[in-house]
Structure 1
Amino acid sequence: MNTTVERALTLPVLDLGTLDDPTREREFLDDLRAATSEYGFFYLTGHGVPVDLQRRLITVAREFFALPVAEKLSIDKLNSPHYRGYSALGNELTRGKRDEREQIDFGAEREPSTLEADWATLIGPNQWPAALPELRTVIEQWRSEVERVARKLLSAWLVSLGQSPRLLDSVYEPANELIKVVRYPGRTAGQSDQGVGAHKDGGVLTLLFVEPGKAGLQVEKDGEWIDAPPVENAFIVNIGEMLEVATDGVLRATVHRVVAQEGEDDRISVPYFFNPNFDASFPTWELPREYDGLRRGVTRDPQNPIHASYGLNVLKSRVRSHPDVAERHHPHLIGKYSA
C-alpha cells in the first residue's frame, strides 16, 4: 500500500490533497480503489473544510438539542410528508429495533413534487427551528463545503474505476443531499447499546463528521466488527448500495453500526449523504478487464433488497425507519416497502 494510505489506524487514511499533485494523482487513485474494494470505508484528510466551521457545527448542534422539548417538537418529523425534521430519542428504527439517538434530517430544499412515482414523496422543503435561526445558516454553509469535497472525491472514484469523471454529471444536477444532525446520549448499564443498528447506506457516497474524541462507530470486516473512532479534521467515508450495483460488487457497501457508549457523555455526529436525483437508475458499468476477478455480484439479502433505482432504494429505508411518518402521510406505502 502506498504512502497515501496508512495502517496505523483500523481503517485506511487517504489525503485528498494529494489528488492536486500531478506526481501523486495515480497513487491516490490506486489507494482509493484499494481502500474501497477491501474495506468500503476510509478516513479522508486534506479536504479543506475550515476547522472553525467544524466547531460551529458542533456548537449549534448542541444548542439545538439543549432546546426545550416543545421547541424541538415544533419541527417534528411527523409534520413532514417528506421525512424532514426532528426525531425524538428512540423514534427511528433499524431492522425493526429502536435506535437510541435523537436527530434532525435536512434534505435538498425543494417544492413538493407532483410526480406520481412513490419516491416523489421524498421531495419537498425542510423544517427549520424558529428558536435557533443560526442552525440553518451553519447547515447551509456546511452543505456547500462538503458538497465540494464529495464532488471531487466522486470524480476521482469514477476515474479509479476506469470511468469518465463526468459519468454521473447528468444525475447529479442538482445533487440530492441529506444531512443528519445526530445526538447519541450516553447509556447506563443495562440499557440497549443500539445507537444505530447494523445497516448499509442506500445511496452513493457518505461523508461522516464526528465530534472529536467520541467513539461508537463500528464497521464490519470479514465477519468481525472494527472500531472506527473519529480522527481530528477528517471525514469517515463510505460507499452506498448504488455503487455496489454499478460495479457488480467490486465495490461493496459495508455494513456498519453505532454502539451506544456507557456513561453520561453524549456524542454529536453529522453524516452527509451525497446522492443523485431520485429518478436515477444504476446499470452495471463496463469496468476494465483487470476487475473481472473482483466482481462479487450484488448482495442478496431478503431483509434488505437492493434496488437499481436510487429513489426506490432510499424510499425503502425511510418507510422502514420512520413507519409513523409513513402511516400518517403515505399509508399506501407501508405494505410495499416495510416488509
Structure 2
Amino acid sequence: MSAAAWALPTHEDIESATALPVIDLSELDDPARHDAFHQRLARIARDTGFFYLEGHGIDTRTIEELERLTRETFTLPAAAKERIAIRNTPHFRGYTGVGGEITRLRPDQREQIDFGEELPAVRSINAVDAEHPIWWALQGPNQWPAELPALKPAVLDWLDQTRSVAERLLQAFLVALGQSAQALDALVAAPRNHRFKIIRYPGQAQGQSDQGVGAHKDGGLLTLLLQDDVGGLQVLSSKGWIDVPPRRNAFVVNIGEMLELATNGYLRANVHRVISPQSGVDRYSIAYFFSPSLHAEEIPLLTLPEALNEQAQGPESDPENPLFRHIGTNALKGRIRSHLDVAERFYPEQFRLLQEQARAHGGPLQASAY
C-alpha cells in the first residue's frame, strides 16, 4: 500500500515545516498551567499527531554523551558489529546492516542497533512452554559490543530516563482525553517491553535509493525521537510530505498504533519516513519506542467523553499488515515482519505463514518498520 493510500488527517494540517508545534512538558510543574497544557496537547495530538517535546528534564550533557557514543559505535569494525548481529538472538536485539530491514518492499538505507529493557529470557525458543506463549521470546538480554564498554551503561540510563518522560507524557495524554492519569498504568507496568535503537543513515549519491526508512507507522504507544542537525524526517499530511526539521535537544514525538487502538481511532498513528542525506553526509538518530508490556495481554478500549467519542473513527488497519489488539501477537508480528532473517531462523512457523500471506497477495514478503 502506498503512502497516499493511508487515511490522512481530517482536522488542521501542518501548514509548513516551521508550523510543527512545540510542547513544553515542564509546564506541568505549575498547577496553574495544567488546564491550558492539557487542552493544547489534546488539540495538537488530534490535529497533527507530531510535535516537538521540550522541557523533558533530560540533561544536555546526557544527550551529548549518547550522541557521541552513537557515532563511535558505528565506526567499529565490521567484524565487531557482526558479532552482535540481530540474527544471533530470538529477542530482536542487535546490529542490522544497511539494507537489512525492509519497508514497503524496499530495503532501508540505514544501519542500526536495537536494544530493549535489559531482562532475562523467560522461555526457550525451541521448547514447548504452556505458561509462556511464543511471543514471550521477545523478552531477553541485549547484545553489547565488547569494544565499546561505555555504551551499555549509557543505553540503560537512557532507557530509564526516557521511560520516565514517556510515562509522564502518556499520563498527560490521558488527562487531556478525559481519563484518569493512571488509566493505562497496567499496560506499561513491569516487565516492560520498551524498545530503543541508535541509527546511522549513510549519504546516498544521486540516482541511488534515498529511502532511509520507507513510509510507515510506529507500532507502540508513543515514539520519542532525538535527531541530529542533518534533517530528512518527514510526516504525511493531506498537503503531502512535510519536513520535520531538527530542533536541538528536543524530542520529536509521534503517536503509535497501540494508542490509536486504545482511543478507537480518535488519536491516529502517523505516517512518516526518512529521506537519506546527500552523498558524503551521515544522519544519526536515537529512537525510543514506548510500548505495551507483554504481560498486559490486550489493549484496552478507553471510554472517551461523548464529544470525543463522536470523532473516533475506529482504528485503521492495513489488510496486508493487520493490527491485533492482543499485545503479544501484535508485537511479535511487527518484529518478524521487520527482520525476516531472525524470523526465518527462530520463528519458522510464523515465517511460513508470512510466506503464505505474501503468495496470497501475489508479492514478496513485506516487512514493516518500527
Q: State the 1:248 CA deviation.
A: 1.0
The answer as to 2:204 corresponding to 1:187 is yes
Distance in 2 (alpha carbons) for counterparts of 1:292 and 1:27: 21
Q: Which amino acid aligns with 1:26?
A: D
Distance in 2 (alpha carbons) for counterparts of 1:333 and 1:122: 14
Deviations 1:221-253 (A, max 9, x none): 126111111201210001111111111111000
Task: Give the match for residue 316 of structure 1.
Answer: 333
Instruction: Give the gaps of 5 or more residues in structure 2.
Output: 1-14, 124-130, 358-370
Deviations 1:36-63 (A, max 9, x none): 1111111001111111111111111111
Task: Give the match for residue 365 of structure 2.
Answer: none
Note the 1:144-155 alignment, pairs <5 A: 144-155=160-171
Q: State the 1:13 CA deviation.
A: 0.8
The answer as to 2:93 corresponding to 1:84 is yes
Task: Give the match for residue 46 of structure 1.
Answer: 55
Task: Give the match for residue 288 of structure 1.
Answer: 305
The answer as to 2:76 corresponding to 1:67 is yes
Q: Is the 8 A contact 2:54 2:250 kept in 1?
A: yes
Distance in 1 (alpha carbons) for counterparts of 2:354 and 2:299: 20
Secondary structure of 1:23's match? helix
Poorly superposed stretches of 4+, deviation over 6 Å: none
Q: Is the 8 A contact 1:206 1:273 kept in 2?
A: yes
Note the 1:1-339 alignment, pairs <5 A: 9-114=18-123, 115-174=131-190, 175-211=192-228, 213-222=229-238, 224-280=240-296, 281-337=298-354, 339=357
Secondary structure of 1:27's match? helix
Residues 323 and 8 from structure 1, CA distance in 2 versus in 1: closer, same or farther, beyond 3 angstroms? closer
Distance in 1 (alpha carbons) for counterparts of 2:74 and 2:140: 24
Q: Is the 8 A contact 1:315 1:337 kept in 2?
A: no
Deviations 1:244-268 (A, max 9, x none): 1111111000111111122211011
Aligned length: 334
Instruction: Give the gaps of 5 or more residues in structure 1.
Output: 1-5
Distance in 2 (alpha carbons) for counterparts of 1:18 and 1:157: 14
Deviations 1:140-165 (A, max 9, x none): 12112111111111111111111111
Q: TM-score, normalised by structure 1?
A: 0.94
Q: Is the 8 A contact 2:17 2:243 kept in 1?
A: no
Deviations 1:81-115 (A, max 9, x none): 11110011111111232000000000111222234
Identity %: 48
Distance in 1 (alpha carbons) for counterparts of 2:308 and 2:351: 39
Residues 79 and 180 from structure 1, CA distance in 2 versus in 1: closer, same or farther, beyond 3 angstroms? same
Q: State the 1:74 CA deviation.
A: 1.0
Q: Which amino acid aligns with 1:130?
A: A
Distance in 1 (alpha carbons) for counterparts of 2:294 and 2:353: 18
Secondary structure of 1:142's match? helix
Q: Which amino acid aligns with 1:196?
A: V
Q: Is the 8 A contact 1:96 1:320 kept in 2?
A: no
Distance in 1 (alpha carbons) for counterparts of 2:16 and 2:236: 17
Secondary structure of 2:18's match? coil
Report which stretch shifted further, 250-259 or 7-16.
Answer: 7-16
Secondary structure of 1:195's match? strand
Task: Give the match for residue 11 of structure 2.
Answer: none
Q: State the 1:118 CA deviation.
A: 3.0
Q: Which amino acid aligns with 2:65?
A: R
Distance in 1 (alpha carbons) for counterparts of 2:61 and 2:354: 41
Q: State the 1:7 CA deviation.
A: 8.4
Secondary structure of 2:194's match? strand
